[in-house]
A and B are shown apart, each in its own frame.
Chain A
Amino acid sequence: MNNLSESGKSGMNLKETELTLGLPGEPRVGKACMKRVFSETVDLELGNSGKKDSSGSGSSMKKESATSRGKLVGWPPVRAHRKNIMTVKSGKYVKVGVDGAPYLRKVDLELYNSYEQFLSIRTVLDEKKLMDPVNGVEYVPTYEDKDGDWMLVGDVPWKMFAESCKRVRLMTRSEAIGLAPRPETKCSSSSS
């Protein structure tokens, strides 16, 4: 049972409410996941939500969540016939996030055949322009590949990218500076 005895008179317990990567309702054990070297460059405080976007071992955390998901039976309270509707029939879905936006979209990479097509949808998704004239911020598309490395989008041929990409993040240029240097590639395609 959730131990609220530490909540104190005011009912406020910041530790209790600190957002972690645990499952909904699980006892809070703090940030347990391991972080990688590059996580500083991609670790973001996203607006008001205060959520930490922990990448790096994000993928292994997700797997853990998926298998231990069943711990919390019947929560959230969604009926079975609604759950089934959303099963993705096909496609390679990756999460696309934007700096400063508190949500992520799932995009099916199989719908696109080139970087041009893929990158052109970004602005529709999240109303963020590549170049924001107001504050001169430039967004750089980056992605996490199969090996967990964060790379700049456009370094490898589209197909190779689509196969190895796990998630995409539009970073501000300043954030992207700390990224690993580009690996050697047989042929490089333009990134836009």
Chain B
Amino acid sequence: MAYSFPEEVLEYVLSFIKTDKDRNAVSLVCKSWYEIERWCRRRVFIGNCYAVNPRIMIRRFPEIRSVEIKGKPHFADFNLVPEGWGGYFHPWVVAMARAYPMLEEIRLKRMVVSDDCLEMIAKSFKNFRVLVMSSCEGFSTDGLACIAANCRNLRELDLRESEVEDLSGHWLSHFPDTCTSLESLNIACLGSEVCFSALERLVSRCPNLRKLQLNRTVPLEKLPNLLIRAPELVEFGTGAYSAELRPELLSNLVNAFAGCKKLKALSGFWDVVPAYIPAIYPVCCGLTSLNLSYANIQSPDIIKLVSQCQNLQRLWVLDYIEDSGLDVLATCCKKLEELRVFPSDPYDVEPNVSLTEQGLVSVSEGCPKLQSVLYFCRRMSNAALFTIAKNSPNLIRFRLCIIEARAPDYLTYEPLDAGFGAIVENCRELRRLSLSGFLTDRVFEYIGKHAKKLEMLSIAFAGQGDLGLHHVLSGCDSLRKLEIRDCPFGDKALLANAAKLETMRSLWMSSCPVSYGACKLLGQKLRRVNVEVIDERGTPESRPDSCHIEKLYIYRTLSGPRVDTPDFIWTMDEEGNTPQ
């Protein structure tokens, strides 16, 4: 006998169920639950914009208020994805303008967004509140002006590292005097100077402003004016942190920072004049996040700063911090969870700073909560990796970039297989891994055997042959995203593990010996998967099947082959033809 309770009750219960995973589980219980759930789902996350299409999304979820969509593959960040590849937001916004008039939030990553799209957002959604564009491109400050002028209840405008055509800073002045709802504004990626008085007035009239990230052009002298008007700030990003040495400016800054009692995160810090660093000392003990990755300050100054931040959970910094600075970090910042060390001079073969594997070893020793690492360095050893693995069994993300490709263990000249093997064996919760250095197929054997929770793997200049790729595809049960460049992986492993590709979000391979013929075969074998060959040399049909393709992007999808491909992408179809 089936008992059911009123829909309204179930809806109410479901309102507490937030995560996609749980909601998906709910929708599988029975048909009526599926129906009820889909009508009350408010948020949707689309990890690959080509995995579904707007029509499918709208058909299933008619009442969405918040959408998050990702476009280009991750390697686009490093110029490996050709210009014009795709990831257009336009078809989405057109469809949503009709179907979701109550839409409140749009979050995009690596998508192409035009000014037209921004205008459509501004005019179509009366309750629009949140716009986050991370690593997006295709729009200008004109589009931003439209958003500023028309979104009455805008709470968040976050341009995170997007490439914006910066026509002028005038757009900011388009926020009407009636706009008082802003809680978060991130314009750090913009180059032009914004009208400072407009910014100041905007900050003054938004009492809920919690996050403010300025761009480089906002001078240090102006910071006190802004900070005293925004005492509720939780996250703040400075502009250029330099000015001539003037004692009254320093004391103004000190007072201004001290007035922000809730400050937890600091960033910005371009062009730092070290004499002004002490201005932030009053807030250091409360900081949980510090981003110094643009700051050209040397190790002694970094040490003085970091040693006061006992509550630091996240540090992004340049390799100017050096091993000595990382030692201090390890001693002082026991709550550290995330460390990112970026290279100050990535293209120089010779090291310009004394930052080695030792710094990371120290942090792993001193910081028991370390979970997430991104580390650029110029040398590594298996011994160091063993130690790190032993010290940090709770690592979730481990991304190591040894700057010289294929660099071996600098002590023994051996491959770094064993070291990375220790990482995957000891760090049972590892979800993301980026490899570098000299690696044979052996490392992939370890990864396939131990990295059972690994979801994303990045490989470059590694391995010896198909066996390496086979280990990964056959062993990594949780693998969702795999990106590979310049590795000797070819057809065999792909064809043998074709079915695996249906269980993953995507696979990227570039500069690998994968043949056109194999791509056609995959296209035939795989259902609901797009096999896209990217080749700027012209149609692969003009070359023999054995010819290697340049780049390959394979992803599962419900919406069939793309309809918006540029002329250098060929989708392998199910008949083994190339439709273009």
Main secondary structure of the interface of A (DSSP, over half): loop
Q: How far is the CB of A177 from chain B (nearest CB, A)?
A: 25
Residues of A near B347 (CB, < 8 A) are: 69, 76
A2-B461, A24-B404, A103-B354 known; A81 vs B413 contact (CB < 8 Å): no
Q: How far is the CB of B362 from chain A (nearest CB, A)?
A: 17
Q: With an 8 A cutoff between CB atoms, is A156 at the interface?
A: no
Residue of B nearest to A5 (CB): B464
Residue of A nearest to B344 (CB): A86
Q: With an 8 A cutoff between CB atoms, is B415 at the interface?
A: yes
Contact with B along A161-174 (1 / 0, CB 8 A): 00000000000000
Choose among A2, A103, A106 the residue that contacts B488 (Cβ–Cβ < 8 A).
Answer: A2
Residues of B near A80 (CB, < 8 A) are: 79
Residues of A near B78 (CB, < 8 A) are: 73-75, 77-79
Contact with B along A123-140 (1 / 0, CB 8 A): 000000000000000000
Residue of A nearest to B293 (CB): A82
Residues of B near A92 (CB, < 8 A) are: none
Residues of B near A77 (CB, < 8 A) are: 77-78, 401, 460
Q: With an 8 A cutoff between CB atoms, is A1 at the interface?
A: yes
Residues of B near A81 (CB, < 8 A) are: 161, 189
Residue of A12, A25, A75 with highest tally of chain B CB at under 10 A:
A75
Residues of A near B296 (CB, < 8 A) are: 86
B353 touches A103 (CB 8 A): yes
A23 to B137, CA, bound (A): 31
A135 to B161, CA, bound (A): 52
Q: How far is the CB of A85 from chain B (nearest CB, A)?
A: 5
Residues of A near B379 (CB, < 8 A) are: 49
Which residues 40-94 of A have a CB within 8 angstroms of B?
Answer: 48-51, 65, 69, 72-83, 85-86
B343 touches A76 (CB 8 A): yes
Q: How far is the CB of B534 from chain A (nearest CB, A)?
A: 14
B79 touches A74 (CB 8 A): yes
Residues of B near A1 (CB, < 8 A) are: 486, 488, 513
Q: With an 8 A cutoff between CB atoms, is B350 at the interface?
A: yes
Residues of A near B404 (CB, < 8 A) are: 24-25
B351 touches A12 (CB 8 A): no
A82-B342, A102-B351, A103-B354 known; A74 vs B80 contact (CB < 8 Å): yes
A17 touches B408 (CB 8 A): yes
A18 to B572, CA, bound (A): 42
Residues of A near B417 (CB, < 8 A) are: 11
Q: How far is the CB of B247 from chain A (nearest CB, A)?
A: 22
- Using a CB–CB distance below 8 Å, which chain A residues touch chain B? 1-2, 4, 7, 11-12, 14, 16-17, 21, 23-25, 48-51, 65, 69, 72-83, 85-86, 95, 101-106
* In the A-B complex, the 10 residue pairs with the closest CB atoms: A74-B78, A25-B405, A103-B351, A24-B405, A24-B404, A17-B408, A17-B413, A77-B78, A78-B346, A76-B346
Known: A2-B406, A86-B296. 11 other contacts (CB 8 A): A24-B403, A75-B78, A76-B346, A78-B78, A78-B343, A81-B161, A81-B189, A101-B354, A103-B352, A103-B353, A105-B352
